[in-house]
Structure 1
């Protein structure tokens, strides 16, 4: 049986939720789901497909993403590997913030990372005000007010475009 690994860095869980959704398309694969924050030691050579997904918080990816890529850069460059960036700015699809070219986070990642994935997805995440610590709630509310987003701190809003995620999953699945 073919094997796929889905590695993620998430803060509130939306990135993991997106990967779980994508995994549903991989019915002919044995799939492993791995948290990058645990600094996993994995042999990527045993996988036919590798998907790394990471969320943005305050404009940055978690350092565990870069640590993993530094360690596995050669394996990632020689395999069927793809990358997903999850962030709230990607909710602005009309401004193309949900594309690798239009995402400042992806462009910064490509400059900073030793790995240049051939396939990249950019998806809007979720706003989970009730789950945030007070200071995070206020900071994110300020950012959302400056960018025209939801500011009601009693709400949870999922901005993820699931059709776009499904399209990405299908493209990644057939990628040779």
Structure 2
């Protein structure tokens, strides 16, 4: 059986992270699907399912919640895990990169009918030159308010790849219910 990697991404950092996790799983049989394509899947055909999603303006994409609602029973009965990517997680010293310290994960767990057995939180990337005018200004304002980088000529990857590797190791250990 193969592993399913589902993702919801804006500029590609979540997809980059999920591909790194897959490489560390050393599996030859896996499938990558963008949640924005509205996939209709039978999750029982996969030995593992990993879902990664990014935060934009404080929220996970509605396509994530739609997928979870449509596959809740399958997710709850499968070997499935979840991770969230956001810029707040760059504040590791404040614990914002942990499921317990992430306000986004707390909100996700309240809204979601699926309660993942394994949850990760990773810092994303700040890619000012790739944003449109509105996003650039809004993200710059948010970063100013939160003590982050405001130079719109910069691209900064905050992802802690060691932490991603640790999560990949934990993913290998979760067993089917």
Distance in structure 2 (CA, Å) of the matches to 1:8 and 1:173: 18
Q: Is the Cα contact below 8 Å between 1:86 and 1:123 reproduced in 2?
A: yes
Query: Residue 30 of structure 1 aligns with which residue?
Result: 29
Query: How far has the Cα of 1:26 moved from its partner?
Result: 2.1
* Count of residue correspondences: 175
TM-score, normalized by length of structure 2? 0.97
Distance in structure 2 (CA, Å) of the matches to 1:74 and 1:8: 19
Distance in structure 1 (CA, Å) of the matches to 2:146 and 2:50: 30
Segments of 4+ moved more than 3 angstroms: none
Instruction: Give structure 2 stretches of 5+ with no counterpart.
Output: none
1:5-51 deviation per Cα after TM superposition (whole angstroms, max 9, x unaligned): 00000000000000010010222341100000010111111001000
Query: How far has the Cα of 1:60 moved from its partner?
Result: 0.4
- Structure 1 residue 10 and structure 2 residue 15: aligned? no
- Structure 1 residue 56 and structure 2 residue 39: aligned? no
1:86-125 correspondence runs (5 A): 86-125=85-124
Distance in structure 2 (CA, Å) of the matches to 1:40 and 1:155: 35
Distance in structure 1 (CA, Å) of the matches to 2:64 and 2:42: 16
Distance in structure 2 (CA, Å) of the matches to 1:31 and 1:78: 19
Distance in structure 1 (CA, Å) of the matches to 2:42 and 2:32: 14
Partner of 2:119, secondary structure, is strand
Q: Is the Cα contact below 8 Å between 1:55 and 1:85 reproduced in 2?
A: yes
Partner of 2:11, secondary structure, is coil
Q: Is the Cα contact below 8 Å between 1:125 and 1:159 reproduced in 2?
A: yes
TM-score, normalized by length of structure 1? 0.98
Distance in structure 2 (CA, Å) of the matches to 1:143 and 1:33: 31
Distance in structure 2 (CA, Å) of the matches to 1:60 and 1:103: 12
